[in-house]
Amino acid sequence: MSTATTVERAELLREASLTICGRREGKTTSCTSCLRKADAVVRLVKGSDLNTVLVPRIADIICGSAGHPCGLCWDKATTLVLELRP
Residues 6+ apart with CB under 8 A from 8: none
pTM metric for this prediction? 0.70
Closest Cα to residue 80, out of 56, 29, 67? 56
Q: Return the SS3 of 25.
A: coil
pLDDT mean for each 10 residues of the chain (86 residues):
75 91 90 90 76 83 88 92 80
